[in-house]
DNA sequence: GTTCAATATTGTCTAGGACAACAATCCCTT
DNA sequence: AAGGGATTGTTGTCCTAGACAATATTGAAC
């Protein structure tokens, strides 16, 4: 704990709620109810910031603030944890458990070795589908429950990224269609989704180009054009607000010719019911081969020749 | 051009100047001077946004707004381009030229192959010192001059990252002291600096742990403690404001015990004259071995046994 | 020249009012 | 009873204009 009480701009940064919103909530609902320093400026307690963070998360799921501000912290925490899909039965099979144990012990060398061995043992595809993807969810859950520190989540992410890139690096680049441009929208900093998708696509022999994360809309459109991409594939974690994501998707759709498809995937869409027209939801990495086959049919290409 | 006139929140996002700042400049200096829509809300022309973007950049270099708002766009553009260090004689040796040519042609496959070959030809250390580091500068310059699109810079960064990680992956982890924790501060998203430092350290046989980018201060401190790190090494590009960087460094210094050193490196420090006490500036990657030797002397360790 | 105090500049905070966009209700018609 | 359209409630963002702390800059005294 550095300082238990923070100013409004810190709260804005930490919760994503604008200063205006924080002030107007205080005026309307009486929450948050910050102290004032000697100069009359708002000073928020760590507890209130925590509650605001929870509320902010629930807002993204379409709930409205009036009820949320009145609820207790426990209630909010329960709502945040629960109504996602009930977490795929907290897998306790050895690789998962070991990973969490290594993270808990801050054992980076052990983690590196464990991930590398698991990759070699399973092969890249099974490593991703059966291990990396569900593991990411577990790590994300543990982080949001507070079981895992930020630094541990970073460590995990870094090491996993390393393995995935090693894996991708060993694939000889294919030339199958469609040509896919991979990236994330501004504000979405998680790389693992892009890397997993990259690997799955490359394993299908598809030509793909990754721009890393956080590419501005206009630049995605430009790059798609320049590279002659057939598909722009975007990865979304729960870090991005659903509203913002939808708005940006619509903007991108408008800037791209109809001949270029947009595929969207990632955890964000677990909570979403529908997407704007002209966007294809690829909710699971497993569906990628099927999606590629369908693309082939739509575009009259030869039906997915074996790699 | 999507829409030639935009609202205040868009300007905030695009320029990094807060709404408050935009309004108070208008009040004080008469610039910017947005039109108003029928509801009295500010509407900024593309030209004004452009000028604001230039001003925002110059502010980071310590200039003050009063003069800047009065200057013409051309004048600002000249100032942005010029007074950095005069760019190390735009190296035109083959690998550099080829890289820029491949980027200009959006040739990702060619770039991948070119980088990989250069890495194999030079070896990891020379690849970094003689090629990657100066190339990063050139790409950054080209981007800020507008010669290179954002998507091209992303592509470069992604491919270079790939090569560096491949290189790091082949190094058998050493156990030499000091134990180094690598990352960047919040707001610093550039990974290449961390990766290059990681590689240089690993090549010296030093045990190092990377947390990726943008680790919150508190979590850096916690991780350093948990990992038993002797040094926290931080990379800074010019993306971060100098002021913000210094403040965060001071905060981190306060949270770490004196026994843990902080090393700072990266392009940001080319403009800076001095750093807070208790921070060691490692201005060039080439100095890393020397820095390690000095660390050994300071801590009475055996004088840098050969790897 | 340095050092310290006075002054100017600059960003961020404050308050309360206004309104557009969206969601939820209600009522009327079919 | 169900669908559709108007009314009402909710919510986020914008507005003005004033205040002040933190940081530069200037000026005066040594």
> Is A227 in the B-facing interface, judged by CB distances under 8 Å?
yes
Q: Tens digits of per-residue pLDDT, A208-235?
A: 999 999 998 889 999 999 999 999 999 9
Between CA B169 and CA B203 the distance in angstroms is 11
Q: Tens digits of per-residue pLDDT, A143-194?
A: 877 789 999 999 999 999 999 999 999 998 888 889 999 999 988 889 999 9
> Is A168 in the B-facing interface, judged by CB distances under 8 Å?
yes
Whether residue B180 contacts residue B231, with contact meaning beta carbons closer than 8 Å, is answered with yes
pLDDT at A42: 94
Task: Check the CA dihedral B300-B304-B305-B307 and report its sign.
Answer: positive
Between CA B297 and CA B303 the distance in angstroms is 7
Peptide bond into A241 cis (omega under 30): no
A231: left (phi over 0), alpha (psi -120 to 50) or beta: beta
Q: Which of A2, A155, A189 sits opposite B218 (nearest CB)?
A: A2
Between CA A198 and CA A128 the distance in angstroms is 11
Whether residue A214 contacts residue A189, with contact meaning beta carbons closer than 8 Å, is answered with yes
- Give the tokens for residue B160: 């270079």
> CATH 1.10.1240.10 occupies which residues in chain B?
94-169
The spacing between the Cα labelled CA in B269 and the C1' in C12, in angstroms, equals 27
Which residues of the protein have their beta carbon within 7 Å of strand C?
Answer: A 7-9, 19, 23-24, 27, 40-42, 64; B 18, 20-21, 24-25, 28, 39, 59, 64-67
pLDDT at B115: 96
Whether residue B53 contacts residue B45, with contact meaning beta carbons closer than 8 Å, is answered with no
pLDDT at A86: 47
CB contact under 8 A, B227 and A173: no
Composition of chain A by helix, strand, coil, percent to 5: 55, 10, 35
Q: Which residue in chain B is spatially nearest to A252 when comparing CA positions?
A: B2
CB contact under 8 A, A149 and B219: yes
The spacing between the Cα labelled CA in A183 and the C1' in D15, in angstroms, equals 38
- Give the tokens for residue B87: 């760019």
Q: Tens digits of per-residue pLDDT, A122-155?
A: 999 999 999 999 999 999 888 877 789 999 999 9
Q: Does B90 or A101 have the greater pLDDT score?
A: A101
Instruction: Report the b/e string of B213-230 with b at 16+ CB within 10 A.
Output: bbbbbbbbbbbbbebebb
> CATH 1.10.1660.10 occupies which residues in chain B?
5-81
User: With 0-12 CB in 10 A as exposed, 13-18 as middle and 19+ as buried, what is B35?
Assistant: exposed
pLDDT at A299: 82
Q: Which of A106, A165, A209 sits opposite B227 (nearest CB)?
A: A106
Query: What is chain A's mean pLDDT, rounded?
Result: 88
A148: left (phi over 0), alpha (psi -120 to 50) or beta: beta
Question: Which residue out of B2, B12, B151, B251 would a mutagenesis test of the A interface target, given it has the greatest number of A Cβ atoms within 10 Å?
Answer: B151
What is the least distance, in Å, from the CA of B305 to any CA of chain A?
Answer: 22
Q: Which of A155, A173, A219 sits opposite B109 (nearest CB)?
A: A173
Q: How confident is the model at residue A1 (pLDDT cuts 50, 70, 90)?
A: very low
> Is A210 in the B-facing interface, judged by CB distances under 8 Å?
yes
pLDDT at B306: 47
Q: Which of A149, A154, A212 sits opposite B212 (nearest CB)?
A: A154
Arithmetic mean of pLDDT, A56-66: 87
What is the least distance, in Å, from the CA of B95 to any CA of chain A?
Answer: 21
> CATH 3.40.50.280 occupies which residues in chain A?
176-298
CB contact under 8 A, B220 and A151: yes
Specify the fold of B176-298: Rossmann fold (3.40.50)
Q: Which CATH architecture has domain B94-169?
A: Orthogonal Bundle (1.10)
Strand order in the sheet with A279-281: A206-210, A176-183, A231-235, A261-265, A279-281
> Is A250 in the B-facing interface, judged by CB distances under 8 Å?
no
User: With 0-12 CB in 10 A as exposed, 13-18 as middle and 19+ as buried, what is B36?
Assistant: exposed
Count the neighbouring beta carbons within 10 Å of the beta carbon of residue B97: 13
On chain D, which bases lie within 7 A of the protein's CB atoms?
A: 10-21, 24-25
Q: Which residue is nearest to nucleotide D20 (CA to C1')?
A: A39
Residue B178 DSSP class: E
Mean pLDDT by 10 residues, chain B (307 residues): 78 92 95 92 94 90 89 87 54 80 91 95 96 93 84 95 94 89 91 97 94 92 94 89 80 90 89 76 93 88 51
Specify the fold of B5-81: Multidrug-efflux Transporter Regulator; Chain: A; Domain 2 (1.10.1660)
On chain C, which bases lie within 7 A of the protein's CB atoms?
A: 9-20, 23-24
Q: Which residue in chain B is spatially nearest to A255 when comparing CA positions?
A: B2
């Amino acid at each position: 704990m550095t300082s238990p009480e923070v100013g409004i701009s810190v709260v804005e940064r930490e919760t994503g709620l604008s200063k205006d919103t924080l002030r107007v909530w205080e005026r309307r609902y009486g929450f948050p109810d910050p102290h004032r320093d000697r100069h009359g400026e708002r000073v928020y307690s760590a507890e209130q910031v925590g509650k605001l963070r929870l509320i902010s998360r629930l807002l993204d799921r379409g709930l409205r603030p009036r009820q949320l501000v009145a609820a207790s912290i426990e209630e909010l925490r329960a709502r945040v944890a629960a109504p996602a899909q009930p977490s795929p039965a907290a897998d306790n099979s050895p690789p998962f458990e070991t990973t969490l144990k290594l993270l808990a012990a801050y054992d980076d060398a052990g983690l590196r070795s464990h991930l590398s061995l698991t990759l070699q043992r399973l092969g890249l595809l099974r490593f991703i589908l059966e291990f990396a993807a569900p593991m990411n969810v577990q790590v994300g859950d543990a982080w949001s429950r507070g079981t895992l520190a930020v630094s541990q989540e970073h460590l995990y992410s870094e090491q996993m990224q390393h393995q995935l890139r090693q894996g991708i690096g060993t694939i000889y680049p294919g030339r199958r269609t469609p040509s896919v441009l991979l990236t994330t929208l501004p504000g979405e900093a998680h790389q693992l989704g892009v890397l997993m998708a990259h690997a799955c696509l490359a394993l299908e022999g598809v030509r793909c180009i990754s721009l890393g994360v956080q590419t501005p809309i206009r630049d995605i459109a430009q790059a798609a054009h320049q590279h002659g991409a057939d598909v722009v594939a975007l990865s979304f974690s729960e870090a991005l607000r659903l509203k913002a994501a939808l708005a940006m998707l619509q903007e991108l759709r408008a800037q791209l010719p109809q001949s270029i498809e947009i595929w969207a995937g990632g955890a964000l869409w677990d909570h979403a019911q529908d997407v704007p027209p002209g966007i294809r939801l690829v909710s699971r990495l497993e569906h990628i081969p099927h999606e590629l086959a369908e693309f082939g049919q739509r575009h009259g290409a030869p039906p997915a020749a074996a790699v």
